[in-house]
Amino acid sequence: MDPEFTARRTPARYAASPEALPPAAELLGLSLAALTQRARDVREQTTGTRVTYSPKVFIPLTRLCRDRCGYCTFASAPRHLASAYLSLEEVLSVARRGAETGCHEALFTLGELPEERYPQARVWLDDHGYASTIDYLAEACRVVIEETGLLPHANAGAISPDSLARLRQVAPSQGMMLESLRGDLAAHRGAPDKAPARRLATLEAAGELRIPFTTGILVGIGETTVDRVTALQAIADSHRRHGHVQEVIVQNFLPKAGTAMRDAAACPTQEHLQAIALARLILPADVHVQAPPNLADPEQLGALLDAGIDDWGGVSPVTPDHVNPERPWPAIDTLRRATEEAGLALAPRLTAYPEFVARPDEWIDADLHFPVLDRSDAEGLGRDDPGALWPERHEAAANVGTGAEVVQVGRRSTGWYSGADAEPVHLVPARPRAAGAVAEVLAGVRLGQELGEAELVTLFGARGPEVAAVAEVADALRAEAVGETVTYVVNRNINYTNVCTFRCTFCGFSKGPLSLNLRGRPYLLTLDDIAERSREAWRRGATEVCLQGGIHPSFDGGFYLDVVKAVKEAVPALHVHAFTALEVHEGARRLGATLSDYLSELKAAGLSSLPGTAAEILDDEVRAVLCPDKIRTDEWLEVHRTAHEIGLRSNITVMFGSVEQPVHWARHLLRTRELQRQTGGFTEFVPLPFVHMAAPVYLKRRARRGPTWRETILMHAVGRIAYHGVVHNVQASWVKLGPAGARQLLRAGVNDLGGTLMDENISRAAGAAHGQLLEEHEFHELAHAAGRPVRQRSTLYGPVEPRVTTPSMVGAP
């Protein structure tokens, strides 16, 4: 590192005396019990009950290092290694095992500047065409992302700004342990890269370069408590200048055989716990505090939580901790049990924390935006569905009928996705338990309190046993509102055209003029086609036809009137559930009619109710991404308000899991709840998880892979809670969830399974693998498997009487 750079970026020297450390000096006089209580209070106010960890693989790119630290067994001499560096294939072999087991992180650890000490390192780099270890590390990171999707965390030590900037292009986060600012520690003799000024300069440069950064202190290597406070304050000051320190590791020293410090005493447990609590209290509240769980005995994990940590760091189901190979990682179930016994909830995260993931333009290189997004949930944490997680690759678009028109190639992910044929992990029913904010909100629900935006967002953040607690409350409200009976409707979907002039970025169904050669064959059903499909639906027992389609450039408002008339002439008794708010809005606009007049005319022609689709997310910030030329939030609400005023019913839908965040879900629920209070016209709430496989916004690398299963359960359950007393029915979309998913949701507030459909094209075109028809006996089997009675309903949730079809009930073709 350039000495001039080091001097320029090193803050003023920190004095190691209690008098120089206000307000930390006051903390040093507290008992351990008082100190840890304060630390827990800070954690509760910032991260609540959530404790995170990063599922990872550990990739030791090289064990060669120019430093000789007195406690280290990671660094090795060339004579002990088969090769100076892992090959790219060896790197990928480890990373592939991580992707197969659902890891999100590839932690690259390596010695510092080995080519400056060992000729073997320099020769290897030259032979393989790399200018430096950093150059090779950057290439290894790039290959891992492209081939496996794992997100690299580069832990390259005290490096130059140029090296940090190079790695920023291929790693969403980086790290370097500060360890201590004592310059005279015996542990760091022979380790030029551990010079305090050098470490501080790297920390400062990372901030200036807007790099989400991990650092930490090593406790018990000869430093004092005041020294630890000094280091923590230096980190805090750097973060206040730049906002880049995402986590601080408080690591306890353990002596290792074969090192210079093999006979030194291990860090006393009380001193480690004190250092954790001090870190939580000295550091800004938005900096996370971590303690490595494998450096504590299993029975001590609770004590680490009690001291104030909110993160367990990287934990690998695949690779050992190569820095501490004698200390195996605890099983995730062990961490989860310890976390939940402390009244907290465990959640996986990415290499970059959610605060940074939420602001990618500022903190993450543009080329890494999608790899990070692809592994994110709606909060910017890691997706938590078990199973393999691979980057999706596709052949050129092809017409494959009504299914997905984009063919996936290569390794397939095995985790659950909406529309996929994998069964979701079992989350409900389960033992419910909630503490903190989630428990407070649920207590308010039980007392009959109405939830606002903040409370709804809190429930959407439920994790672990909190999810079951939310589902339990929702299911109790379901029983109170509608009883135990599960309902369904026998219906048929008629999607009369896939040609559309609008450019919704999530839609894999519609065909626009620019896509005709790429995305399959456009079609437009005739009125005779629609009539015949209606007659066929009636003969097969349907009581409803659901009609929706693209906005064809040749349509005027008269087309929709003709469609309704064609259906009613063919089958007068059939319920016509038709036309999105967009279709109604466009129909009225193209005729120059008011919404009220146009909807009244449709009603007179035989329209009975409107679907709630075209809502997506009722927040214009999100709609600007998903449907920039579509109706606005207020226009969707106005169409449904007007429909209700003239006596038409409709439902509420939400499409979730693409680009939005939980706050947008909450706003959607609140806006529709307010309209329902005014009109009472909504019959049901229908969550529609985003199906990503053939959605243009996903193929263009701008969206997530749909919601996680946890988020899907919570959308149904929180919807039930939010709408309690105003919307009585919550429906599960079996087309997007699969029968197994729908069955689980019957224990989370759902009372309705939707329709038999008999021709569902829109979800199929987006990539959904589930069938186009669910027979009535399958609805009965599904409900009975959940221990619930079942009955057929009408569109408006009335009873359906047995019928005998007569010629007068079905018009002549």
Q: Please list, in sequence order, all residues whose beta carbon lies within 8 angstroms of the beta carbon of residue 722, skipping any fewer than 6 positions away.
A: 451, 456, 669, 670, 673
Say if CB 141 and CB 188 are below 8 A apart.
no
Q: In DSSP terms, which residues pair with 345 in a beta bridge? A: 50
- Quote the pLDDT of residue 695: 85
Strand partners, 219: 252
| Confidence (pLDDT) at 155 | 96
The residue-averaged pLDDT of 552-573 equals: 94
Taking 90 as the threshold, does the pLDDT of residue 220 lie above it? yes
User: Per-residue pLDDT for 403 more than 80?
Assistant: no
Distance CA 268, CA 220 (A): 8
The whole-angstrom separation of Cα 199 and Cα 176 is: 8
| Residue 509 pLDDT grade (very low, low, confident, very high; cuts 50, 70, 90) | low
Query: By percentage, how much of the chain surpasses pLDDT 70?
Result: 91
pLDDT attached to residue 805: 54
Stretch among 64-78, 165-179, 335-349, 489-503 having the lowest mean pLDDT: 489-503
Handedness of CA 537, 538, 541, 546 (dihedral sign): positive
| Side chain identity, residue 163 | S
Average pLDDT of the chain is 91
Under 8 Å between Cβ of 464 and 517: no
Q: Which residue has the higher pLDDT, 629 or 376?
A: 376
Mean pLDDT of 377-393: 96
- Tokens 């790219």 locate to 88
| pLDDT bucket at 409, cuts 50 / 70 / 90 | confident
Predicted pLDDT at 699: 87
Q: Is the pLDDT of residue 645 over 90?
A: yes
Better-scored residue on pLDDT, 129 or 407: 129
Least confident range of 72-81, 146-155, 365-374: 72-81
Rounded to an integer, the average pLDDT of 539-549 is 94
pLDDT tens for residues 222-261?
A: 999 999 999 999 999 999 999 999 999 999 999 999 999 9
What is residue 804's predicted lDDT score, i.e. its pLDDT?
Answer: 59
DSSP string, 178-191: -B---TT-GGGTT-
Distance (Å, whole) CA 611 – CA 560: 14
Q: Cα 314 from chain centroid? A: 18
d(CA 714, CA 467): 7
Quote the pLDDT of residue 549. 87
* Stretch among 4-8, 611-615, 784-788 having the lowest mean pLDDT: 4-8
Q: How far apart are CA 451 and CA 83, in angstroms?
A: 61
Confidence of residue 775 (pLDDT cuts 50, 70, 90): confident
Give the tens place of pLDDT for each residue, 277-292.
999 999 999 999 999 9
First to last CA, the chain: 84
| pLDDT higher than threshold 60 for residue 21 | no
Alpha helices in 497-656 (DSSP H): 527-539, 557-570, 581-591, 595-605, 620-626, 633-645
3-state secondary structure of 514: helix
Extended strands (E) in 156-222: 173-175, 213-219
Could you read off the pLDDT of 163-202 as tens digits, one per residue? 999 999 999 999 999 999 999 999 999 999 999 999 999 9
Which tokens go with 410? 């290569």
Between 739 and 104, the more confident residue is 104
Whether residue 10 is predicted with pLDDT greater than 50 in this model: the reply is no
Separation CA 562–CA 460 (nearest Å): 43
Is the confidence at residue 756, as pLDDT, over 90? no
Cα angle 304, 305, 311 (rounded to 5 degrees) comes to 95
In terms of average pLDDT, the best of 408-422, 608-622, 768-782 is 608-622
pLDDT at 299: 95
The rounded distance, in Å, linking the Cα atoms of 422 and 424 is: 6
Q: What local confidence, expressed as pLDDT, does residue 404 receive?
A: 46
What value does the mean pLDDT take over residues 305-318? 96
Contacts made by residues 784-792, CB under 8 angstroms, sequence distance 24+: 785/743, 786/486, 786/743, 786/746, 786/747, 788/484, 788/485, 788/486, 788/746, 789/484, 789/485, 789/486, 790/485, 790/486, 790/487, 790/488, 791/485, 791/486, 791/487, 792/487, 792/488, 792/489, 792/490
Q: Is the pLDDT of residue 511 over 80?
A: no
Read off the amino acid at residue 432. Answer: P
Q: What percent of the chain has pLDDT over 90?
A: 81
- The average pLDDT across 777-800 equals 94
Three-class SS state of 232: helix
Please write the tens of the pLDDT for every residue from 123-155. 999 999 999 999 999 999 999 999 999 999 999
Q: Is a pLDDT exceeding 60 seen at residue 771? A: no
Q: How far apart are CA 514 and CA 498, in angstroms?
A: 13
Give the per-residue pLDDT at 8.
44
What is the pLDDT confidence band of residue 734, given thresholds at 50, 70 and 90? confident
C-alpha distance from residue 600 to each of 3, 412, 581, 582, 592 (Å)? 79, 50, 14, 16, 14
